[in-house]
Amino acid sequence: MSLDCAHCPVRERAACAALSDPERAVLAKAGRTRTLKRGETLFAAGDDNQACATLIEGALKVAATDEDGTEHILALVHPAGFVGELFSPFAHHDVVALTDSRLCVFARAEIEEALARHPALAQALLRRSQDDLHESRKLMALTARRGASEKLAALLYELAQAASHSPCHAAQSFELPLTRGEIAALLGLTIETVSRSLTLLEDEGLLRRNGARGIDLPDPARLEARAGAPAY
């Protein structure tokens, strides 16, 4: 399936927004859209057949599995996010769909060529990369929080912000893209502790659960306060 940038929901925010329409059209010929179902992996650690991609819709995780089989989630990727390591001969981490997702995939050679041809693209990717770095550090600060419920509250607040597409506003109701196990792998906790912390927050009146995945936040600001002040 080839690309139709005109209707792309992330055309304003993705890295390719740095290109003019004709420039983008050239790049679009090289790209392909790809869909992933929840759980499907886009890249696996160790792969060398390098490609990269912009996420159009859905959500991805970047994860590493250590030898004892424990998965650690290192990053979440939201629409307009870019994944793929441009300067490494092989992938260091797994990239897996958290929800059914749609992406715009480019072979690495194509991106490198585009990078060389369009200076603006390099700057746009630099910007994205710096944003990713900032997100990564936010996540570190998040997982460094004191107690399990503080971590969870902070994560839920982040996810609520990501769910509402107006940045800086938290959605009052959203679906978790993560299972309990994935939340645990992200926060460095166990499934059981995540579950207990959820019921704790619910008992405190900070949220309501709608089935296993639905979350309602009567007052997002209180949740944020419960997480402790942001460390930035």
Q: Which residues bind DNA (CB under 7 A)?
A: 146-149, 179-181, 188-196, 198-199, 209, 211-213
If you search the block for the tokens 């997702």, which residue do you land on? 101
The least CB distance from residue 211 to DNA, in Å, is 4
- In the complex, least distance from residue 213 CB atom to DNA, rounded to whole angstroms: 7
Q: Do 207 and 200 contact (CB within 8 A), yes or no?
A: no
User: Cβ atoms within 10 A of the Cβ of 69, count?
Assistant: 6
* Three-state DSSP state, 150: helix
Question: Is residue 62 a contact point for a copy of itself (CB under 8 A)?
Answer: yes
Check residue 25 for interaction with a copy of itself (CB under 8 A): no
Q: 84 or 215: whose CB is closer to a copy of itself? A: 84
Q: Binding to a copy of itself by residue 1, rule CB under 8 A?
A: no
Smaller CB distance to DNA: residue 22 or 211?
211
**Which of 130/199 has CB closer to a copy of itself?**
130
Quote the strand ranges of the chain, DSSP E. 32-36, 41-43, 51-57, 60-65, 71-77, 82-83, 94-97, 101-107, 173-175, 208-210, 214-216
Q: Note whether 131 binds a copy of itself by CB under 8 A.
A: yes
* Min separation Cβ 89 and DNA, Å: 32
CB of 182 closer than 8 Å to CB of 98? yes
Q: Which of 86, 109, 181, 219 forms a contact with a copy of itself (CB under 8 A)?
A: 86
The neighbour count for residue 211, using CB atoms within 10 Å, is 8
Quick one: which of 25, 44, 109, 140 contacts a copy of itself (CB under 8 A)? 140
Which of 133, 199, 218, 221 is close enough to bind a copy of itself by CB under 8 A? 133
Q: CA–CA separation, 192 vs 180, rounded Å?
A: 8
